[in-house]
Chains A and B, each alone.
Chain A
Amino acid sequence: MSSFFAERWEQILSASWQHFSLVVQCLILATVIAILLAALCYRSRGLTSLANNVSAIGLTIPSFALIGLLIIPFGFGVVPAVIVVVFFAVLPILRNAVVGLAGVDASTIEAARGIGMSRAKTFFRVELPLAWPVILAGMRVSAQMTMGIAAVAAYVLGPGLGSYIFSGLSRLGGANSLESVAVGVIAVVILAQILDAALLIIGRLTTSRGIRV
């Protein structure tokens, strides 16, 4: 195990970095998409329940199946990997964003409008900051989940740590196969913890003291 790591630590580190960077970028993209979708939905009861259903059902789709299907139109490579990771990352954030935005006190919004804030300003300066802690909680769930899903991306020869897991699994019993799987899994878990801690700190820094509980 240690020799396996010692011999390839540079590749492992670079794969980890790729993995981490894939997840972070997808997470940012997913957050933007989720907030946009939530902004469109949260004021309508029908669209809100649609968003909730989509996110509940979407999470039940096996990621492996989805990525397999995406190979047909997009071929192998980064594109299907990104699409799958973003798709799954959007779902928990979307659900939280809808809940968070809908949970902003109507009288607060009215007060903001009442003193002359435009609709857009009210959204970005009042509703979004107030919903932010909830959205961030969704991002943390997404981050954990997509760390694992990103490993699947290796199936379509995307970047990341998944290649260690898959190559190990495909030649199970062979030399270093277990080590390969273990390195992949452990690295994914460690990265997930790092990202979670990072999000926690970001949350602290970006949440107003006035709404911290």
Chain B
Amino acid sequence: MSENTDKSSTGAAILIENVTKRYGGGKKPAVDQLTLEIPAGQIVMFVGPSGCGKTTTLKMINRLIEPTEGRLIINGEDVTDINGDKLRRKIGYVIQAGGLLPHLTVAANIGLVPKMLGWDKSRIAERVDELLDLVSLDADTYRDRYPKELSGGQQQRVGVARALAADPPVLLMDEPFGAVDPITRQRLQDELINIQAELHKTIVCVTHDFDEAVKLGDWIAVFDEGARIVQYDTPEQILANPANEFVENFIGSGAGLKQLNFARVKDVDMRPGVIGRPEQKPAEVLELVTLAERRNAVILDQRDRPLAWLSREQLKRMTELPKTRDENLPLVSTGSTLNDALDSMLQASTGSAIVVGNRDQFQGLISVETVMNAIRELRENASRQQAPVGNNTGEIPRVNGHGDDAAEDEAGAGSHAAVRTGRHAAPGDQAPSAGGSAAEPASASAEPETTSGTPWAGTRPEQGSSAADGTPSGGAAENPDRPEGRP
């Protein structure tokens, strides 16, 4: 596992418990007995066909839409009946195009929630600058602008900054990047990933773009009509083992290529390259290349930054190695997705690329074959982590509290970390037995062991443990039979 395990998560776990929403007394519920667990500090993506209830579900989390039935538990607190306005001040909310108030400046927009929370002026001003910096906008330039004086992407950034203003543990986003062009969207997604790496919020994000879900999500919930969970699992699992035809269709063609969106260059085996230094004679380097039975050598400067990438033929012709950097080197960074790497290779038509890490230091070489192998491997050992609970059975999962406190350090923290960094640590990182939950919706909740050690376990309040229909959740979960009232 990798970075961030030391940082404590600032996110809060969310439990949507047996929630139903009927609009205007309609018979067909927009959200039908949904039980969904959203682990703390992670990104959960909602995908599904139009009108399936994604937005409705999202808005019930901050109670912009009041559930008809069911309970909502955030960080162990039942928030179903508390003051909705107060609740919403603690939950960041980002909508398409940012939803900025057009008559207020950028600073005023960002400062809205802190102001409502009674922060003093200087603290708000400080926070505004800090947030603008976080979303890569120059505070002095943009602070006093009005939304109409910003580009779509900038508005969206300010929208994210506003949502983060009071440092809420939870962030809800409804198709946040739907209104910007693809290039800006990619940038905003990357920024969100960076922000999340820093802040560890619990993020619930609706999207209609499956690639976006794969790229951003720690978990993806695939919904069908009535917010029925068809599959709730990691992007790896969903791509490798789609639960059924519906999910397959939703993923669309090229699942293998999509997997390239979450695998990172640093996750695959790089080849070491033959290295030359500018002071060396070309012949010397050529000998090394021949000896290693390779075709190229990478020339590095004193700080190990690649200067050139030379073939045997080039080495033969040269009398002196280049000392300045060739601007057309096919470079990828360790943090790039395999997709980006493939792009660079194809563009450079070299069939491989040079991988650089921090401060452009040379790390190794990556080739198209490596990427292809990685796809195969990803398919075979898509990491199996314990999927959070998600079903529409009306069943409340039993909280398996065994050794929760003690497990914090070992299993608990371990699974946290696995989950949080799961997508980076992905291949081969076998998680415990969540098996069935992936292939069969609703089965997860029926088997107690699949819920054990889930991040919210043990934080759930007493009132949460008795379902609306009076079934004690423990009983329901221990009984593997499906309850009769199942839709």
B96 cross-chain contacts in A, Cβ below 8 A: 107
Tell me the interface secondary structure of chain A in the complex: helix
> What mask results when residues 99 to 116 of chain A are scored 1 for a CB within 8 Å of chain B, else 0?
000000001101111111
Q: How far is the CA of A210 from the CA of B145 in the complex (A)?
A: 8
Give the chain B neighbours of A115 by CB distance below 8 A: 88-89, 92-93, 112-113, 162-163
Asked whether, in the complex, the Cβ of A208 is within 8 Å of the Cβ of B104, the reply is yes
- Check A178 for interface membership: any CB of B closer than 8 A: no
Chain B residues with CB under 8 A of A116: 85-90, 113, 116
Contact indicator A114/B62 (Cβ below 8 Å): yes
Q: Which residue of A lies closest to B86 (CB)?
A: A116
Contact of B104 among A110, A113, A114, A210 (CB under 8 A): A210
B213 at the interface (CB under 8 A from A): no
Name, among A114, A115, A209, A211, the residue most crowded by chain B CB atoms within 10 Å (CB to CB).
A115
Size of the B side of the interface (Cβ < 8 Å), in residues, is 30
**A-side interface residues, number (CB < 8 Å):** 18
Cβ–Cβ contact A210 & B86, under 8 A: no
- The answer to whether A118 and B85 touch across the interface, beta carbons within 8 angstroms, is yes
Contact of B64 among A113, A130, A208, A209 (CB under 8 A): A113
Cα A115 to Cα B84 in complex, Å, equals 10
Q: Are B85 and A117 in contact (CB under 8 A)?
A: yes
Chain A residue contacts of B95, Cβ below 8 A:
107, 110-111, 114
Q: How far is the CA of A202 from the CA of B93 in the complex (A)?
A: 35
User: What per-residue 1/0 map shows which CB atoms of A171-213 lie under 8 Å from chain B?
Assistant: 0000000000000000000000000000000000000111100
Contact of B116 among A107, A117, A130 (CB under 8 A): A117
CA distance A211 to B163 in the complex (A): 22
Contacts of A111 in B (CB 8 A): 93, 95, 98-101
Does A37 touch B at the CB level, under 8 Å? no
* Residue A126 interfacial (CB < 8 Å): yes
B391 CB to closest chain A CB, in angstroms?
A: 27
Q: Do the beta carbons of A114 and B146 come within 8 Å of each other?
A: no
- Say whether B147 faces chain A, with CB atoms less than 8 Å apart: yes
Residues of A contacting B325 with CB < 8 Å? none
A129 interface residue (CB < 8 Å to B): yes
Instruction: Check: B97 CB closer than 8 A to any chain A CB.
Output: yes
- Using CB atoms, name the residue of chain B closest to A114: B93
What's the Cα separation between A129 and B148 when bound, in Å? 16
Q: Which residues of B have CB within 8 Å of A129?
A: 103
Answer whether A114 and B64 are a contact pair too, CB < 8 Å, given A107-B95, A210-B105. yes
Q: Which of B85, B101, B162, B172 has the most CB of A within 10 A?
A: B101
Asked whether B99 lies within 8 Å of A107 as measured between CB atoms, the reply is yes
Q: Are B64 and A112 in contact (CB under 8 A)?
A: no
Give Cα A127–Cα B395 distance, bound, in whole angstroms. Answer: 42
With A116-B85, A129-B103, A209-B146 as given contacts, are A110 and B113 in contact (CB-CB < 8 Å)?
A: no
B272 within 8 A of A: no
What is the CA–CA distance of A116 and B163 in the complex, to the nearest angstrom? 11
A208 CB contacts on chain B under 8 angstroms: 102-104, 146
**The 5 A-B residue pairs with the shortest CB-CB distance in the complex, in nearest-first order:** A111-B99, A210-B146, A116-B89, A208-B103, A114-B93
Give chain A's interface residues, CB within 8 Å of chain B. 107-108, 110-118, 126, 129-130, 208-211
Listed A/B pairs (22) with beta-carbon separation below 8 Å = A108-B101, A110-B99, A111-B95, A111-B98, A111-B99, A111-B101, A114-B64, A114-B172, A115-B93, A115-B113, A116-B88, A116-B89, A116-B90, A116-B113, A117-B116, A126-B103, A130-B102, A208-B104, A210-B102, A210-B104, A211-B102, A211-B103
